[in-house]
Structure 1
Amino acid sequence: MDRKYLIGISLIAILTLVVVENPLSDQYVTGLKQESLEVNGVSEPYDLTRKIKEEAKLREVPAQDAVIDTVWKATPGYNGLKVDVEASLQNMKKQKSFDEDKLIYKQIPPETHLPDLPASPVYRGNPDKPMVSLIINVAWGNEYIPDMLATLKKHQVYATFFLEGRWVKNNPDLAKMIVDAGHEVGNHSYSHPDMKSLESAKVREELKKTNEIIEVTTGDKVKWFAPPSGSYREEVINIADEMHMRTIMWSVDTIDWQKPQPSVLIERVMRKMHKGAIVLMHPTASTANSLNMLILQIKEKNLRLGTISSLVKEERIVEDVDNSSEQGNSNKKQ
């Protein structure tokens, strides 16, 4: 019994010596140590996933439903933001460590969209969307339109021109020039009447004739309506809605028909500038001479300029997505 015990002890000692002096065993032990370190740090996939999930909770921005505001009427919704955990993990796996710059976001749409709302005018875009839309009502001022189009092109800005039907009939080349430059066009009635007091049949006729002449002349189908002088009654809004047009108003007025000096017009607009602003203007000398500086100052406020269709879209713009961490702790014709 003692002899077997001694033999067993000797074999264990020999095997231990072989294992300790074997270089392969050294590599095995080193590997175990490295795995142990990875388990205790964020470089191990499980911990990296957990870290990304923790950050995702802090950075999530809820979507905003489109609503009828008591003051601003129909207000577009706005997509929320959420970290895509799996995509972010794949983006960080190679370096095996957390990097906030490698987080991948996905946009989450709201449950209620602008088309879901009842007939109601739009006075502004979503107040959290860093975009502004210039709307240009056209029934006269032909001599200023080419200069305004040139300025818009220079800055790669696209606006929405609301065209009077009678004006389109008399100036088809200018109407096509506006559309060919990439701008959006809308309905501004046919003969510029006071829509608030116009009988229902006449309202329908004004809108129908204008849509038809714009589509025949430019090829564009109209989906926005701007009542002349901003005058309307609820029935006018409902009639436009029945014709698949949402009524567009404004939140900032240039009052350019008063022929202000450019400095006065710019100060007036910039004093009231805000996210989601709709800026009303016309083809006038005041606006044509102010437009270049106005665009520059709006851009200096980190606001993008786009058409009404761009403004009311729920998608967050690129800069807004890039700044999402701060929010968690916030064109062309379309």
Structure 2
Amino acid sequence: MKFFYILDGKKIKKWLLIISIAFVTASILYIQQIANESVFSNDLGPKAIYRVENKKNELALTFDISWGETNAIPILNVLKKHDVKATFFLSASWAERHPRIVKKIVEDGHEIGSMGYEYKNYTELERGKIIRDLAQAKKVFDTLGMKHVSFLRVPTGNFNKNVLKTVHSFGYTVVHWSVDSKDWLNPGVNSIVQNVTENAKSGDIVLLHASDSAKQTAQALEQIIIWMKKEGYKSVPISDLVNNAHIKSKEIK
């Protein structure tokens, strides 16, 4: 016995339409899911670097400067003594007032990163004010001869997705940290050294300060560098650390 199936064209079109709508809906939901994921967890949005996977025993010593002129030179002298290169994140308002120190940082072979112009919490500012702060900072760095500053540490260290998107649209990569020396608390040289040496490993980004508020950093730095050399670690600028390395990032709500 033979069976014949008569295909109804209208029903076929109906089912094809339903399938198409379902496919489009699923695609939209998938895209929305990706868009709603943290900018740290996908390749579509801006990221904040806090450490990298590095197999060369390299880590990055980074120094924030927002005020004062007493501590920066001793720190630079320690770095030069041990032939160590670092990254200095500067508030442009500070750099504007201290071009001589900025010049020495550059001449000593260190990398310059931005901390914007005024040291303000970006999470409390409207997008327009953040852009104006970044633009004012860029103007200062351009005037000082640093036209290719590509890394930025957000002032106060506080940021969210909106801040990251705004900073990213300005052409910067945000650099956070994975090891906090807590030197700005002036807890004692031994405590600063311990905060770093007990936690730092290859690929880490270490937060230190060269502002006048951190009075014990230069002394602690000497011991940190000696420890690094003993353990076979090398400090490199952020740009060298991230090249050809797997960047680690955290989820931000």
Unaligned runs of 5+ in 1: 1-69, 76-115, 317-334
Paired residue type of 1:292 = E
Q: Provide TM-score, normalisation by structure 2.
A: 0.76
Paired residue type of 1:205 = R
- Alignment partner of 2:79 out of 131, 152, 166: 152
- Alignment partner of 1:134 out of 61, 75, 95: 61
Which of structures 1 and 2 has the larger relative contact order (alpha carbons within 8 angstroms, sep 6+)?
2
**How many residues matched?**
207
Paired residue type of 1:182 = G
Structure 2 residue 108 is matched with structure 1 residue 178: no
Are the aligned partners of 2:39 and 2:47 in contact in 1 as well (CA < 8 Å)? no
Deviation digits for residues 226-263 of structure 1 (CA, Å, limit 9, x no counterpart): 01121112111111111211000000001111112111
Distance 1:133 1:71, change over 3 A: farther
Paired residue type of 1:187 = S
Paired residue type of 1:191 = E
More helix by share: 1
- Alignment partner of 1:304 out of 230, 234, 237: 234
Distance 1:74 1:244, change over 3 A: farther
1:131 shift after superposition: 0.8
Moved more, 295-304 or 246-255: 295-304
1:199 aligned partner = 126
Q: In structure 1, what is the Cα distance between the partners aligned to 2:90 and 2:58?
A: 23
Are the aligned partners of 1:72 and 1:124 in contact in 2 as well (CA < 8 Å)? no
Q: In structure 2, what is the Cα distance between the partners aligned to 1:150 and 1:215?
A: 26
Q: Provide TM-score, normalisation by structure 1.
A: 0.58
Paired residue type of 1:150 = N
Paired residue type of 1:230 = G
Question: How much is the aligned-residue C-alpha RMSD, in angstroms?
Answer: 2.2
User: Could you tell me the percent identity over the aligned residues?
Assistant: 29
* SS of equivalent to 1:142: coil
* SS of equivalent to 1:298: helix
1:132 shift after superposition: 0.7
* SS of equivalent to 2:118: coil
* SS of equivalent to 1:174: helix
Paired residue type of 2:218 = A
Paired residue type of 1:282 = H
Q: In structure 2, what is the Cα distance between the partners aligned to 1:158 and 1:202?
A: 33
The within-5 A match list for 1:65-214 is 73=40, 118-214=45-141
Are the aligned partners of 2:39 and 2:45 in contact in 1 as well (CA < 8 Å)? no
Deviation digits for residues 107-129 of structure 1 (CA, Å, limit 9, x no counterpart): xxxxxxxxx66301000122544
Paired residue type of 1:288 = A
1:289 aligned partner = 219
* SS of equivalent to 1:291: helix
Paired residue type of 2:220 = S
Unaligned runs of 5+ in 2: 1-36, 247-253
1:315 shift after superposition: 7.1
Q: Is the radius of gyration larger for structure 1 or structure 2?
A: 1
Q: In structure 1, what is the Cα distance between the partners aligned to 2:40 and 2:49?
A: 6
Paired residue type of 1:307 = P
Q: In structure 2, what is the Cα distance between the partners aligned to 1:266 and 1:253?
A: 11
1:74 shift after superposition: 7.2
